[in-house]
Amino acid sequence: MTQAVESLAARRHVLDLDDFSRSEIEAVLDNAAAMKEVLQRDIRKVPALRGKSIVTLFLEASTRTRVSFEQAGKILSADVINVTGGGSSTEKGESLYNTALTLQAMNADVIVIRHPHSGAPHYLARHLAPSIINAGDGCHAHPTQALLDLYTIREKLGRIDGVTVAIVGDILYSRVARSNLWGLTKMGANVVLCAPPTLLPPDFIDGARMDETHPFASVRIETKVELALEGADVVLALRIQKERQKAGHLPSLREYSRMYGITSSRLEEASPGALVMHPGPMNEGVEIDPEVAHGARSVIEDQVTNGVAVRMALLYGLPSPARAGR
């Protein structure tokens, strides 16, 4: 564990997984396993981050991610301050930069940010002293979700290397899919993306395919869900993001559900014992059937618990501003 912590100490921010090495991802997963042991104790409290302050700045809706960062910080004894759009000065038109400057002036060691615009966490990381953790920026990245997904796969299947993961749903708008693509390919998984053609990002996929050395060059694309699920060890369903969709991508949700919904009978195409995952929140009956979401193969609730452990590992592993020489 000591060695694992050391290998995160060189990192100041967590913005996406594109700049994580395989060994760095492994270090986070190993640390998360140690943190999960803390979660299983009667008294879930360790003094590791006593005297540190973490601000969660969530300018877009969230349940799981925000609460799990808060819980992770509190279990490690940090002071956690939650700021949301409603009720803060962002409602009065204060810019993101000025809001973040205020938080910096209050000595935040870490700012965890969720923002509707892609790149907002990167902007703060360029201009501010605290460590910045991206908790989801627009359609761009959601690295901590991908790390908890990787953790869950490794925990349940014993490995990630060589595992086939089918990601089904709104790939075009999904920051979860994008960060998982980085994480899964770096860890040696075989990735299959499945969506109606209108919900696949053409430039991104074609661009990657033109260059055979690109990490995504081996990603398989399927527009028929039965083919995508064939032999999959993990089926990761994504929410249809109604709030990000422009009109015209789908004839109707009912049509999407009929063609792409993850049902028990479709799941028979997957490997025996395949895991069913979903980052939440789910549109049950649209991208996933309730009986699959709550069925024997579902590890959706484990993902939520593992999210706390993974976020503890990150908060603990990042160097404090003093250690980073700021």
Residues within the interface to ligand NCD (CB under 6 A): 64-65, 136, 142, 145, 175-176, 239, 241, 279-280
Q: Which residue has its beta carbon closest to ligand NCD?
A: 239
Q: What is the amino acid identity at position 75?
A: I
Residue among 184, 189, 194, 201 nearest 229 (CA): 194
Taking the C-alpha atoms of residue 85 and residue 92, their distance in angstroms, rounded to an integer, is 10
Residue among 111, 153, 151 nearest 25 (CA): 151
- Give min distance, CB of 61 to ligand NCD, in A: 8
Q: Which is nearer to ligand NCD, 64 or 249 (CB)?
A: 64
- Give min distance, CB of 117 to ligand NCD, in A: 14
- Give min distance, CB of 146 to ligand NCD, in A: 10
- Give min distance, CB of 13 to ligand NCD, in A: 18
Q: What is the amino acid identity at position 60?
A: E
| CA atoms lying within 13 Å on the CB side of residue 17 | 31
For residue 79, the cross-strand partners are 53
- Give min distance, CB of 87 to ligand NCD, in A: 20
Q: Which is nearer to ligand NCD, 53 or 298 (CB)?
A: 298
257: enclosing H helix or E strand = helix 253-260
- Give min distance, CB of 133 to ligand NCD, in A: 13
Task: Find out whether 221 and 200 touch, Cβ atoms under 8 Å.
Answer: yes
For residue 80, the cross-strand partners are 54
How many C-beta neighbours within 10 Å does residue 254 have? 12
Q: Which is nearer to ligand NCD, 138 or 319 (CB)?
A: 138
Q: Which is nearer to ligand NCD, 58 or 316 (CB)?
A: 58
Task: Find out whether 297 and 267 touch, Cβ atoms under 8 Å.
Answer: yes
- Give min distance, CB of 142 to ligand NCD, in A: 5
Q: Which is nearer to ligand NCD, 280 or 319 (CB)?
A: 280
Taking only Cα atoms into account, the Rg of the chain, rounded to an integer number of angstroms, comes to: 19
Please report where in the chains the tokens 């799990």 appear, as a residue: 68
Q: Which is nearer to ligand NCD, 11 or 115 (CB)?
A: 115
- Give min distance, CB of 62 to ligand NCD, in A: 6
Taking the C-alpha atoms of residue 176 and residue 65, their distance in angstroms, rounded to an integer, is 12
Q: Which is nearer to ligand NCD, 66 or 266 (CB)?
A: 66
234: enclosing H helix or E strand = strand 234-237
Q: Which is nearer to ligand NCD, 52 or 311 (CB)?
A: 311
- Give min distance, CB of 15 to ligand NCD, in A: 15
Q: Which is nearer to ligand NCD, 137 or 233 (CB)?
A: 137
Burial class (CB in 10 A: 0-12, 13-18, 19+), 12: middle
Residue among 267, 319, 326 nearest 9 (CA): 319
